[in-house]
């Protein structure tokens, strides 16, 4: 279906008055900021899709903070997803988009149980990943029906990506003087949470019992929201799935030389023939067609061209003054709420090495220890071991560090590792790759694995999903009939490991590896501080 057809599907308004479902137990209509919406009932769940949470981010609203919703008349049809945000889809994406991307993309979706409950329901708000250049709320793996059937109001939303979501330029700095700059995608996230606060009661949700959760770039976003003072009070619990947070992440400052976000924006503008730093130049930039401005960006190309590279160091929206969550947590910053945090057993990460000797040498004084902990089996390429070590540094160790730092100041923290590999992939996949936990969290494994799905896969999904539901309800992942998940304590270093034999609460079997990764990361942080002081 082309873009115009999709726009017609979600934008059409119907003139009929609101009606209730057949048994009268719940309404398929709700009144939200902007007007009334009509959802659809299926298998005990009412879904509302494509609800605007802000004005279209097009024209003069390109590179502006989200603007108020434009009201509509009548009843808005909310039975189809709005467009995901502008991007070039990533070939081979495990969660491919279900709709055509567009620049007008600031829409939210809500799933709720059809039967009315006796009180307000817990709310979960999903933030997708995709390296800040890909992703959206429409993939079937992100369907919120299983959460709704378990008594949760599940909300998802889109946020701007790539050159639309993260961009700075001197002309913008002049226009928006004194306001946060550059991180328009992060601004969307805060606006969506404000929309949830104001509107989720219309769907039976409790605005004072909201859990945010996200994976990869979505997990990084959860870190940023924990540290953003403008987001405080908009959520009460947080789950970080493969969100990094350590020295492997870096951000450009808004201004301040050739490496600044503004300088990168000037280069991008010149690429499109726009020169100058005045209002006329900004008008020209906002007139660049969206399909041109996306500039071929996706997960395979994001390191090329003149893209700023993701979130910008602005001091507000992006992880405090350093842009590194673990540094900010160590300084006592961040919301004091219950947190679940973890990563996967074969998570994503990068170390460039031409040989094993080159790889181990990068660990400096710990080179011999690295050789012991990351051995080189015969026939295994250096790239595979470098990926394993890089995953520890980028995702796995920062999850543990986050658990250590937050628990030390009295926050309830629960660490996990996702090690489960689907039956159909076990013979060729030595661990759980990045993002593979998502269909288990959402209990959408059937959409992911189809005819290859086994009873073991289904059981793994039911268990993991149940822990997430329990945490959203009470702030504790306690599930009757499943292993007890202990709160993190650095003296015991226990986590919940989701293995092929089921969930297992155990002392971290990778402690020595992660201690090594921690020392490596600390040296990188010190080196970066030293270079920044020059």
Domain boundaries, the chain: 3-293, 338-533
What is the rounded distance in angstroms from the CA atom of residue 317 to the CA atom of residue 180? 8
The set of residues, in sequence order, having a beta carbon less than 8 Å from that of 274 and lying 6+ positions away, is 281, 284, 285, 288
Residues of the chain with pLDDT under 50: 1-26
The yes/no answer on whether domain 338-533 falls in CATH 3.40.50.1820 is yes
Which DSSP string corresponds to 304-371? Answer: STT---S--B-SSSSSTTTS-HHHHHHTT-S----EEEEEETB-------SSHHHHHHTTGGGHHHHH
What is the rounded distance in angstroms from the CA atom of residue 393 to the CA atom of residue 395? 6
pLDDT score, position 248: 65
SS3 for 99-163 is CCCECCCCEEEEEEECCCCCCCEEEEEEECCCCCCCCCCCCHHHCCHHHHHCCCEEEEECCCCHH
Which CATH code for domain 3-293?
A: 3.40.50.1820
**Backbone φ and ψ of 341, nearest 5°:** -150, 140
> How far apart, in Å, are the Cα atoms of 463 and each of 51, 126, 212, 424?
31, 19, 20, 19
Which DSSP string corresponds to 159-200? Answer: ---HHHHB---HHHHHHTTTS--SBHHHHHHHHHHHHHHHHG
pLDDT score, position 257: 86
DSSP code of residue 204: T
417: three-class secondary structure by DSSP: strand
**Backbone φ and ψ of 175, nearest 5°:** -65, -40
> Given this chain, do its domains 3-293 and 338-533 carry the same CATH topology?
yes
pLDDT score, position 358: 96
What is the rounded distance in angstroms from the CA atom of residue 405 to the CA atom of residue 330? 6
402 token code pair: 């986050």
- Nearest residue to 400 via CA among 129, 391, 126, 473: 391
């Amino acid at each position: 279906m082309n873009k115009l057809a999709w726009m017609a599907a979600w934008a059409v308004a119907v003139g009929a008055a609101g009606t209730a479902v057949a048994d009268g137990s719940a309404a398929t209509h709700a009144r939200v900021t902007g007007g009334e919406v009509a959802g659809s009932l299926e298998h005990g769940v009412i879904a509302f899709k494509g609800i605007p949470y802000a004005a279209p981010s097009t024209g003069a609203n390109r590179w502006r903070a989200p603007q108020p919703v434009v009201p509509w008349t009548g009843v808005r049809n909310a039975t189809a997803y709005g467009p995901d945000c502008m991007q070039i889809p990533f070939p081979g994406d495990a969660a491919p988009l279900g709709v055509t991307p567009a620049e007008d993309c600031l829409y939210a979706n809500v799933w709720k149980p059809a039967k009315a409950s006796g009180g307000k329901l817990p709310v979960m708000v999903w933030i997708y990943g995709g390296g800040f250049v890909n992703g959206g709320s429409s993939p079937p793996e992100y369907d919120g029906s299983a959460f709704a059937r378990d008594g949760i109001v599940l909300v998802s939303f889109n946020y701007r990506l790539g050159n639309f979501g993260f961009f700075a330029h001197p002309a913008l700095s002049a226009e928006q003087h004194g306001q946060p700059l550059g991180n328009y995608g992060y601004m969307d996230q805060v606006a969506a949470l404000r929309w949830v606060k104001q509107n989720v009661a219309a769907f039976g949700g409790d605005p004072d019992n909201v859990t945010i959760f996200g994976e990869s770039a979505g997990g990084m976003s959860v870190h940023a929201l924990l540290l953003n003072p403008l987001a405080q009070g908009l959520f009460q619990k947080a789950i970080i799935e493969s969100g990094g947070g350590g020295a492997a992440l870096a951000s450009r400052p808004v201004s301040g030389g050739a490496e600044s976000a503004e300088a990168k924006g000037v280069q991008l503008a010149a690429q499109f023939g726009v020169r100058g730093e005045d209002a006329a130049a900004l008008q020209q930039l906002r007139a660049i067609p969206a399909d041109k401005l996306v500039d071929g960006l996706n997960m395979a190309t994001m390191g090329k061209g003149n893209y700023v590279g993701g979130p910008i160091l602005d001091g507000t929206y992006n992880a405090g003054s350093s842009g590194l969550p673990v540094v900010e947590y160590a300084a006592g910053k961040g919301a004091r709420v219950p947190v679940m945090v973890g990563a996967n057993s074969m998570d994503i990460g990068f170390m460039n090495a031409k040989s094993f000797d080159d790889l181990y040498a990068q660990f400096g004084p710990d080179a011999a220890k690295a050789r012991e902990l990351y051995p080189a089996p015969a026939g295994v390429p250096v790239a595979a071991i470098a990926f394993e070590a890089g995953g520890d540094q980028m995702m796995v160790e920062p999850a543990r560090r986050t658990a250590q730092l937050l628990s030390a100041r009295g926050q309830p923290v629960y660490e996990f590792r996702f090690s489960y590999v689907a039956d159909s992939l076990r013979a060729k996949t030595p661990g759980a790759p990045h993002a593979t936990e998502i269909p288990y969290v959402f209990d959408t494994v059937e959409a992911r694995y189809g005819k290859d799905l086994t009873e073991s896969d289904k059981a793994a999904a039911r268990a993991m999903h149940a822990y997430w539901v329990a945490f959203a309800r009470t702030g504790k992942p306690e599930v009757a009939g499943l292993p007890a998940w202990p709160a993190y304590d650095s003296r015991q270093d226990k986590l919940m490991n989701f293995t092929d034999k089921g969930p297992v609460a155990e002392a971290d079997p990778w402690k020595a590896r992660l201690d090594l990764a921690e020392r490596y990361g600390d040296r990188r942080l010190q080196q970066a501080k030293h270079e920044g002081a020059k």
